[in-house]
Amino acid sequence: MKKIESLEHEIRGIDLEMSSKQIEYNELQDLYNRKLHILKELDTAMELWLSYSE
């Protein structure tokens, strides 16, 4: 569960960074790609958590 919370926290941080300042397109693209990677990790962690809770 801590991994899920950590990943969610990291996603919120990326969202804030993407929306809080003017950033270069390349940096925005890097942040977006990192967010996609973390979302995949989060999905995997949630599936694992759900399989243990059944």
pLDDT tens for the chain, 54 residues long, are: 899 999 999 999 999 999 987 889 999 999 999 999 999 999 999 999 989 887
Q: What distance in Å separates the CA atoms of residue 7 and residue 34, rounded to the nearest whole number? A: 11
First to last CA, the chain: 15
Q: What distance in Å separates the CA atoms of residue 16 and residue 2, rounded to the nearest whole number? A: 21
